[in-house]
C-alpha cells in the first residue's frame, strides 16, 4: 500500500469516504505508516470497513501509464493473483503486523530482564522505535544490540555450572524438531 499511496493512491472506507482527512488532514494518505494503519483499523472497527474487513486503496484515477510505469509489480501481482485490474478497480487492504515493536522490558545497558539469564533484542524486546520503525533500522538495531547482549549473556554464562542432559531427552527433542520440519501441512515452518 505504501508505494501506491506514494503515487497518489486514495484511501476510502466502505462508505466511499476519503477517511484520512479525519486522522491527518495535512498529509492525508502520505501520513506515516503507523497513522495510516491506525486510521484504517479505526474505520474497520467502527463499522466503516468492507465486508471482508478492509478499506479501499484506489489508484484507478491515475493515468494508466503512471500505474504501468510506477507500480508495475503491484499491477501484475494483483492481476495474476486476484484478477484485479487496479487501473479500473480499487484494492482492498487491511492493516497487518509484519514486525512487532515491543515486548519484554529490558535494561538499556545489556538488554537483560528481571529473569536471571534471560536477554531479549529486536522484536522480542521493548525496542527503540515506538510505533513507527523505519525499514532498515531493524537490522542495525539487531547488529548493535546483538553484540552488546551476546557479550553480556556470555559473561553471565561463564559463572554457570553445566547441567547434564539425558541422552533420551535430547533424542526426544530432536525427534520433535524433525517432525515439525518434515510436516506436510498447509503451514510453513
Placement of cell 508505494 in the chain? 3
- CA 106 to each of CA 44, 51, 119, 145, 150: distance values in angstroms, whole numbers, following the listed order: 34, 41, 7, 11, 14
Nearest to 59 by CA among 40, 41, 75: 75
Please work out, in degrees rounded to the nearest 5, the angle formed at the alpha carbon of residue 171 by the alpha carbons of 166 and 175: 150
Q: Which domains, ranges and CATH numbers included, belong to the chain?
A: 2-93 (3.90.700.10)
* DSSP character string of the chain: -HHHHHTT-EEE-TT---THHHH-TTTGGGS-HHHHHHHHHHHIIIIIS-TTS-EEEE-TTS-HHHHHHHSHHHHHHHHHHH---TTTSPEEE----SS----B---TTT-B-SSTT-B--GGGB--SSTT---TTHHHHHHHHHHHHHHHHHHHHHHTSPPPP--HHHHHHHHHHHHHHHH--SSS--
Task: Please state the φ and ψ torsions of residue 86, each to the nearest 5 degrees.
Answer: -70, -10
Please work out, in degrees rounded to the nearest 5, the angle formed at the alpha carbon of residue 144 by the alpha carbons of 112 and 37: 85
12 given a catalytic annotation = no
Torsion 55-4-188-170 (CA) sign: negative
Nearest to 58 by CA among 80, 31, 32, 78: 78
Residue among 5, 12, 22, 33 flagged as catalytic = 33
> C-alpha grid cell for residue 131?
510505533
Which pTM value belongs to this model? 0.65
> What per-residue confidence (pLDDT) applies to 14?
97
pLDDT digit string (tens) for the chain, length 189 residues: 788 898 899 999 999 999 999 999 999 999 988 899 999 999 999 999 999 999 999 999 999 999 999 999 999 999 999 999 999 999 999 998 766 667 788 898 999 999 999 999 887 886 666 666 666 777 888 888 899 999 999 999 998 988 888 999 999 999 999 988 888 877 665
Amino acid at each position: 500500500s505504501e508505494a501506491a499511496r506514494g503515487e497518489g493512491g486514495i484511501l476510502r472506507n466502505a462508505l466511499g469516504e476519503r477517511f484520512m482527512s479525519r486522522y491527518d488532514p495535512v498529509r492525508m494518505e502520505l501520513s506515516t505508516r503507523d497513522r495510516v494503519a491506525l486510521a484504517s483499523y479505526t474505520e474497520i472497527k467502527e463499522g466503516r470497513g468492507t465486508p471482508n474487513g478492509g478499506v479501499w486503496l484506489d489508484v484507478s484515477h491515475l493515468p494508466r501509464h503512471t500505474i504501468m510505469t510506477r507500480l508495475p509489480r503491484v499491477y501484475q501481482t494483483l492481476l495474476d493473483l486476484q484478477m484485479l485490474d487496479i487501473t479500473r478497480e480499487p484494492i482492498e487492504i487491511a492493516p497487518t503486523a509484519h514486525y512487532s515493536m515491543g515486548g519484554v522490558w529490558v535494561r538499556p545497558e545489556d538488554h537483560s530482564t528481571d529473569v536471571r539469564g534471560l536477554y531479549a533484542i529486536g522484536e522480542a524486546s521493548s525496542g527503540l522505535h515506538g510505533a513507527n520503525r523505519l525499514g532498515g533500522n531493524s537490522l542495525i538495531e539487531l547488529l548493535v544490540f546483538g553484540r552488546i547482549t551476546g557479550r553480556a549473556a556470555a559473561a553471565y554464562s561463564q559463572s554457570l555450572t553445566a547441567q547434564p542432559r539425558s541422552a533420551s531427552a535430547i533424542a526426544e527433542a530432536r525427534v520433535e524438531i524433525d517432525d515439525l520440519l518434515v510436516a506436510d501441512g498447509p503451514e510453513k515452518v
